[in-house]
Structure formats: structure tokens, C-alpha cells
Structure 1
Amino acid sequence: MSKVFFGGSRNIGRINPAIRTRLRNLITNKHTVLIGDANGVDKAVQSFFAEEGYRDVVVYCMDSVCRNNVGNWQIKSIDSGGKKKDFAYYAMKDAQLSLDADYGFMIWDGESKGTLNNVLNLVHQGKSALVYRSPSREFIQVKTTDDVVSLVASCPAELVDYLNKKIKFEKRVAASHQVVLSF
């Protein structure tokens, strides 16, 4: 079955019934769950799968140290090469998650740079992501950089500026369009 990369905002600690329904569908269809070890969405989704007794879960951790592994599942350790624990450090883990997954399921608070970075990584690899946009309580299918731009279109200008500084959002979108146009 498919491998699904779960990710999301650290400030979302609960998952609502609509998300739980989608997660149960993944269990029914026997998908492999690939998930990080952060607090917030990672821990909440881990807790759901542990409560359900689902075993086909792999938790990605940095340097063999898991912050959260609620179900005591198999881990995949990403070697940091001794880098300091900052955004780039944890983004290494997320980059590997996106490479190993067939598609993504992101729970986004409308602000998290890490979650949006994961969506961009998946799209740049030709993979899609289902994004639950928490502020509007809607599921959005994201397949292209244009879809990512639409996802961010309703965000305040200050947030877009922040995303440009932290994950080079507009440069990455523009670079993606240039690649597409160069064929």
C-alpha cells in the first residue's frame, strides 16, 4: 500500500472528527504512516494511531533520539552530521519523510513555515498532499505550485513576507514555474 507522510503545525494538539475519519480510512486501506516526532500534530496523530492499535507506523527522528513515539513503533533515524538543533536540523528529517512518502497529509494552522515547506517539498517531487487548513476547517488537495500559491493567497502579507524570509517561498515557486516552462 501507499506510504503517507503526516505532518503539521506544532501548535495544533488535537485532531477533530473530520480528520479522524480520514485517518480511519487510511487504516482501512492499510496505508503505511510516516510521521515525525514533534509535539503538536505529530504527537496528536501518533496518539490517534496508538489508540486505534495501528502498527504500520514509522516515526522519523533525528540522531536516534525521538521526542515522541507514542506507540513505540519502528523508528527511522536521520543523521544530522552534528548540526545544531534549529529549523534546518529538523527540516532534514522532514525532507527525508517527503522523499520516502508517496503522498502527504498535512494539518496546517495557516502559519507554520515547516508545514508549508513540507507541502512544497512534496509538490516539487511530483507528489500531492491533502492539506487540512485549520482556520477554515477545509481539506484542500495540493498537486502543483499554483495550488500552494492558492493555499497561501488568503494569508496576510506579513505572513508571506515571513515565509519568504524563512523558506524562500516565492523564489521556490518561481523556480518551479521556470522548470516547467523550460521543457
Structure 2
Amino acid sequence: MNTVFFSGSRSISKLSTEIRNRIIDNILKNEFNIIVGDANGADKAFQKLFAEHGYLSVQVFCSGAEPRNNIGRWKVNFIFSNQKGRALHAEKDKKMAEIADYGFVLWNGKSIGSLNNIAELLKQNKFSLVYFAPNKQFIKIKSIEQLQDLIDYTDEKLMGEIQDKGNAYLKTIALPQVRLI
């Protein structure tokens, strides 16, 4: 049975009809296993959809003592680490990427955590279906080059923010070949 790692930007708190239909038609109807985080935003929106459909093949991953969100009262996997802040959540995301066969990522074009998840899946030779919110389109990312094209598509201001916040992090956990302008 395939396992899909759902993740996304915290700024995306609602799923469009297009996203909902894609998940229902391709994931739920095929009865894939789902792993999802406990954050507000995309994680919570995914959880709401799964709960609405009474979907049981869901596991929630949490890097704290208690999940922030577990709408369907699914099994919780606690990931403990000595890391703090973003690095703590990255440990959780890395474990989810290891378990998953594929990724489904909602990216607002700004979230470094979402980029890291895509990169971590690629590092493990797994692809992601990315919903790129600025263009409202789905993009399949199967290679470093495709990830680079996605990053290159963003504006220069964003590239500066990614460099400031995530360049070293992306280099250490994921793909050193990715060019951050």
C-alpha cells in the first residue's frame, strides 16, 4: 500500500475545490495510507478533509509532547529530538519523508519548510506533487532540475528571504546542488 506525506505552508488554511477533488479522486478512493503533520495551516486543512470523509488510514506526526491538531483522533507518532525551533520540526518532516512513498505539498511560494520537504523526498528518490498556490497549478517534481525550475520561478525578493532563512538549511539536509540566487 502506498503512503503519501501531506505537507504544506502554514499560510494555506483552506483547500480549493480543485485540491479537494484531486485528493479525493486520487488518494482517498485508492485507499492510500496518509501521514500528515499537526501544524495549523495546510496540515490542519488536510486533516479536516480526511475527517470529513471519515478516512481512517491517517497517522499524525508530532514533534511536541502533544499534537497541536489531530482532528480525526488518529494514531499519533511522536518524534523527539534535542533540536529546537525549525530544526525540531525538520526532524519530524525527515522521518515522514523516510516513511512515505510520495509527497503532496501545498506551497505558497514562500515557505522554506515546504521546500525542504520536497527536497528531502527528492534526496530519497521520491517525487512530490506540488500545488503551487501563486499560479494555482499542480507541478510534479521528480528531479533536482524540476525543483530548481520551481525555485527559479519565484521572485527575487522571495529568493533573498530564502537565502536569509533557509540557504544553509537546504544545503545541509537536502540538495546542495540547488542554486539559491
Q: TM-score, normalised by structure 1?
A: 0.90
Residues 1:80 and 1:174: Cα distance change in structure 2 (over 3 Å): closer
Alignment of 1:155 onto 2:154: yes
**In structure 2, the residue corresponding to 1:132 is in which secondary structure?**
strand
Query: CA shift at 1:64, angstroms?
Result: 3.8
Structure 1 CA distance, aligned partners of 2:176 and 2:57? 37
Query: Which residue of structure 2 lines up, in the alignment, with residue 108 of structure 1?
Result: 107
Query: Which residue of structure 1 lines up, in the alignment, with residue 20 of structure 2?
Result: 20
Query: Which residue of structure 2 lines up, in the alignment, with residue 180 of structure 1?
Result: none
Query: Which residue of structure 1 lines up, in the alignment, with residue 70 of structure 2?
Result: 69
Structure 1 CA distance, aligned partners of 2:112 and 2:161? 8
RMSD: 1.7
Structure 2 CA distance, aligned partners of 1:92 and 1:173? 16
Structure 2 CA distance, aligned partners of 1:176 and 1:125? 15
Query: Which residue of structure 2 lines up, in the alignment, with residue 59 of structure 1?
Result: 60
Query: Which residue of structure 2 lines up, in the alignment, with residue 46 of structure 1?
Result: 47
Query: Which residue of structure 2 lines up, in the alignment, with residue 6 of structure 1?
Result: 6
Structure 2 CA distance, aligned partners of 1:63 and 1:110? 27
Aligned residues: 175
Structure 2 CA distance, aligned partners of 1:20 and 1:90? 25
**Unpaired runs of 5+ in structure 1?**
178-183
Where do 4+ consecutive residues of structure 1 move more than 3 Å?
169-177
Q: TM-score, normalised by structure 2?
A: 0.91
Structure 2 CA distance, aligned partners of 1:161 and 1:42? 26
Structure 2 CA distance, aligned partners of 1:115 and 1:61? 16
Structure 2 CA distance, aligned partners of 1:174 and 1:60? 27
Query: CA shift at 1:162, angstroms?
Result: 2.2
Query: CA shift at 1:165, angstroms?
Result: 3.2
Residues 130-162 of structure 1 deviation map (CA, whole Å, 9 limit, x = unaligned): 000011000000011111111111211222222
Structure 1 CA distance, aligned partners of 2:51 and 2:33? 14
Structure 2 CA distance, aligned partners of 1:59 and 1:36? 5
Structure 1 CA distance, aligned partners of 2:133 and 2:65? 31
What percent identity do the matched residue pairs reach?
Answer: 39
**In structure 2, the residue corresponding to 1:168 is in which secondary structure?**
helix
**Unpaired runs of 5+ in structure 2?**
none
Query: Which residue of structure 2 lines up, in the alignment, with residue 98 of structure 1?
Result: 97
